[in-house]
Homo-oligomer: A and B are copies of this chain.
Amino acid sequence: MNAPTKLPKNSIKTAPQSVTTGPIIGSRKIYVAPPEDPTMRVPFREVQLTTYSEPPVRIYDPSGPFTETDATIDLNAGLPQVRRAWLNARGFETVAGRAVTDADNGHISPENLVPACPAQRPVLTARDGQMATQFEFARAGIITPEMIYVAHRENLGRAAMLEGARERHADGESFGASVPEFVTPEFVRSEIARGRAIIPANINHPELEPMAIGRNFLVKINANIGNSAVTSGAAEEVEKLVWAIRWGADTVMDLSTGRNIHNIRSWILRNSPVPIGTVPIYQALEKVGGDPIKLDWEVFKDTLIEQAEQGVDYFTIHAGVRLPYVPLTANRVTGIVSRGGSIMARWCLAHHKESFLYERFEEICDLMRKYDVSFSLGDGLRPGSIADANDRAQFAELETLGELTKVAWDKGCQVMIEGPGHVPMHKIKENMDKQLRECGEAPFYTLGPLTTDIAPGYDHITSGIGAAMIGWFGCSMLCYVTPKEHLGLPNRDDVKTGVITYRIAAHAADLAKGHPAAKLRDDAVSRARFDFRWEDQFNLALDPDTARAYHDETLPKDVHKVAHFCSMCGPKFCSMKITQDLRAEVLAMGDNERLALEGMAAKSKEFMDKGSQLYLPAAE
């Protein structure tokens, strides 16, 4: 791994120089073609084991070309255009594109302006009546290359597993989801056509490696980056993107609010293999000098076009924050904590008018459809504390989001719904159930939720608990929370900690839902552990570097990595060692001897009384 030499001190003014590249230790990037298209290169990460008796383990990999062996990355040129040929085949119109204005970068002085990424891409847009979105293609029965790509990507391990001799691994509780044994392109199409999944994929983001967000696919996670008025610049943001996807972020939201945001975004988009989401109202607000009351439809529309042309894949639109709901928040403990929500509430109340996002919603749909920008319908009234969870304001907005979902679908758009926030454990399922009901099973995308408010500094954990649970209940994507939440801006370590925590939550959810292939990796780790294959255990871990470093703190010598014990108990007390010997003995017994032993139990009175319960089904 090559860390960037050093970030420039005052990076506000500078273009990004380099980013972290190279494989994650103990694995290598591979590209595999799906059976439907031998020219397609779907990325995976593969962990080779130290034993001959097990095949390599294939892992889902959103990290893009940055983790290739000997990766050569030219940030100025942007990433390879994976989708270019597919997009060209669709015959979209190439337009001049909107001219960049000073306002787009917050009227920053020329000497402080970050240059735009020099990589040039044609600006595409759909003609009126021309199909543009994955939703429209899906409804028309057309399987796009993006759908083929996604199907193959989601199937990792499943093909081998189904063919092999292993037992079926899934025994979860899916709460009504329909995770298939095997994902076909047609399954992806049908899920998108039903509105149950989206592939966020702006036609101006050719560098994208397509991925799906939906209840019947692997649970995804999002990482937020973004400079603020107070700190950070372009180089940091691109490195944060690369760093976040390296550890497993499936999408990244650029929440920049300071200056230079148009140009910083150009660097991010041209170098992002994952979908990029934004909250356009943030930039619109910059354009009107920071006063919510001065916002209007024209400046907002202009911002949507600006960002759609750059290639943003999904927009958070807070169209559910309606004027009548504002008073519902007055007695909350923490009022409105969503920035977008508070901006729109301010606007509505000041003008005493219904939200222009709500009133212009169909126009917004028409605009976003032309670029296939997906909706992420924002939850501007999400609770900001345990005290405010599941209150009238929150659920009134959710009902409106359900209404808007149907409007967007009618307009041909892809839609997901944002959710809370801060919710104690016993109120989480109600959120999921209500979202599925109100929003016709459109994918749910939640922030955490945090299950308690008493641990600032550890909110990746308070929220990781809620995220795992809501992922299990049916949430499609989990927005990460870093240890700095509520306190400050995350640094490199915080971003990694947030991403790993959310990969844990997403995977725990997949396991509990009964995803057919999720357990393969757990079992591989467990076998490595039991066999004292330390290197395999490290390399299969979500974070091999940390696992190895922690082991080495106590037993640093290389010889201990093949030792049949570890520092916790030492050689004499190792339960694994004892039980390995034990297993050998039991397996060496004749059948009669073993049955006689098991039979002993049946002879004892107490066991007889309860023994029959042993054979009840697992779901007892």
Contacts and interface: CB of A to CB of B under 8 A. Distances in A.
A386 interface: yes
A396 B591 CA distance: 20
B575 A339 contact: yes
B542 A458 contact: yes
Given A455-B542, A554-B231, A569 B339 contact: yes
Contact of A453 (B258, B327, B526): B526
B336 A525 contact: no
Contact of A504 (B322, B335, B434, B452): B452
A229 B464 contact: no
A600 interface: yes
Interface in A412-470: 424-427, 430, 434, 438, 451-458, 460-462, 464-465, 468-469
A587 B330 contact: yes
Interface string A391-423: 010011001101100000000000000000000
Contacts of A600: 323-324, 354
Contacts of A285: 572-573
Report the contact-size class of chain A (Cβ under 8 Å from the partner): 35 or more
A200 to B, nearest CB: 24
A582 interface: yes
B525 A454 contact: yes
Contacts of A483: 550
A545 B433 CA distance: 39
A457 B542 CA distance: 9
Given A425-B509, A543-B457, A543-B458, A335 B488 contact: no
Given A547-B457, A567-B488, A578 B396 contact: no
A326 interface: yes
Interface stretch (A94-102, A270-278, A511-519): A511-519
Nearest to A619: B430
Given A229-B570, A425-B509, A454-B522, 7 more contacts: A322-B601, A403-B606, A427-B618, A451-B468, A453-B522, A454-B540, A455-B543
Contacts of A572: 229, 257, 285, 290
A530 B335 contact: yes
Contacts of A541: 454-457
A246 interface: no
B597 A522 contact: no
Given A387-B519, A390-B618, A486-B529, A504 B461 contact: yes
B396 A601 contact: yes
A555 interface: yes
Interface in A572-592: 572-576, 578-583, 585-587, 589
A599 interface: yes
30 contacts: A229-B573, A230-B570, A257-B572, A285-B572, A324-B598, A324-B602, A325-B601, A326-B586, A327-B586, A339-B573, A342-B576, A342-B578, A346-B578, A385-B526, A392-B614, A395-B613, A396-B614, A399-B614, A403-B606, A451-B508, A453-B526, A454-B525, A455-B542, A456-B537, A458-B500, A461-B461, A462-B504, A465-B465, A488-B566, A489-B568
Contact of A575 (B336, B452, B542): B336
Given A330-B586, A575-B336, A578-B346, A550 B231 contact: no
A472 interface: yes
Interface in A305-333: 322-330, 333
A572 B402 CA distance: 31
B426 A173 contact: yes
Contacts of A571: 229
Contacts of A594: 327, 330
Interface in A513-568: 513-514, 519, 521-523, 525-527, 529-530, 537-538, 540-543, 546-547, 549-551, 553-555, 566-568
B575 A458 contact: no
A135 interface: no
Contacts of A165: none
Given A228-B569, A567-B488, A575-B337, A457 B546 contact: yes
Q: Could you tell me the dominant secondary structure of chain A's interface residues?
A: helix
Contacts of A426: 171-173, 472, 511-514
Nearest to A395: B614
A403 B324 CA distance: 61
Interface string A118-152: 00000000000000000000000000000000000
A260 interface: no
B523 A337 contact: no
B529 A334 contact: yes
A501 interface: yes
A218 interface: no
A321 to B, nearest CB: 11
A9 interface: no
Contacts of A329: 579, 582-583, 586
A217 interface: no
